Amino acid sequence: MSILETDDGYIGYGGTEDPSNIGQMLLFFKIDKEGEEVIWKPFGENYHSYYFGNVGGAMVKTSDGNFALAYHAANSSGIAYSTLLKLDNNLDTIWKKNYSTDNLW
């Protein structure tokens, strides 16, 4: 889990198990200064497992006022990849880039 302070509250993410048992999801949230929920958005693809940093701190605020997040994922076939994800202040995806070891060889 990671959380960052913003001008109007806090933004962060954590991981959750999908209740339909088809994988894990990332859960993005935005809360106000009093801790009240503003936005709550699950993110992920079916049959994927997400590894979002055991220590936290994988989310940063970017110079343009948006947010970037790094995570590692694996699909049900065991194919793993790393991802950079950029979100706006409403937790909507601006872009997502996957990187795999296939690109290294």
22-48 pLDDT, tens digit per residue, is 667 778 899 999 999 999 998 877 667
Long-range contacts of 78-86 (CB under 8 A, 24+ apart): 85/43, 86/62
- Gap between the Cα atoms of 98 and 73, Å rounded: 9
With a cut of 90, say whether residue 86 has pLDDT above it: yes
Q: What is the value of pTM for the model shown? A: 0.76
Pick from 86, 105, 56, 73: nearest CA to 97 = 86
| Residue 103, helix vs strand vs coil | helix
CA dihedral 27, 7, 31, 24 (to 10 degrees): 10
Residue type, 23: G
